[in-house]
Amino acid sequence: MVNGSLKNVLSKKDRTIDRRKRLLIAMDAAFGMEYLHSKKIVHFDLKSENLLVNMRDPHRPICKVGDFGLSKVKHQTLVSGGVRGTLPWIAPELLSGKGLVTEKVDVYSFGIVMWELLTGEEPYANMHCGTIIGGIVHNNLRPTTPSWCDPSWKQLMERCWSANPADRPDFTAVAIHFRQYYSVFSHPKDFLAF
pLDDT value for 6: 94
Q: Which residue has the higher pLDDT, 48 or 58?
A: 48
DSSP string, 36-47: HHHTTEE-S--S
Output the pLDDT for position 135. Answer: 93
Domain 6-177 is found in CATH 3.50.30.60: no
| Weakest-pLDDT range from 5-14, 77-86, 179-188 | 77-86
pLDDT digits (tens, 9 = 90+) for 171-187: 999 999 998 887 776 55
When pLDDT is cut at 50, 70 and 90, the band that residue 12 belongs to is confident
CA dihedral 63, 186, 177, 30 (to 10 degrees): -10
- Which residues are marked as active site? 45
pLDDT at 182: 79
- What pLDDT, on the 0 to 100 scale, is given for residue 78? 54
Identify the bridge partners of residue 64 per DSSP, sorted by sequence position: 52
* pLDDT given for residue 193 in this prediction: 39
The strand pair at 79-80 and 100-101 is best described as antiparallel
Q: Mind listing the pLDDT tens digit for each residue in 65-79?
A: 987 766 677 655 455
More confident residue, 191 or 42: 42
- Report the alpha-carbon distance of residue 53 to residue 28 in Å, rounded: 10
Residues 6+ apart with CB under 8 A from 82: 94, 97
Single out the residue of 194, 44, 28, 48 nearest to residue 120, CA to CA.
Answer: 48
Highest mean pLDDT among 66-80, 84-98, 122-136: 122-136
The percent of residues above 70 in pLDDT, for the chain, comes to 84
pTM value is 0.88
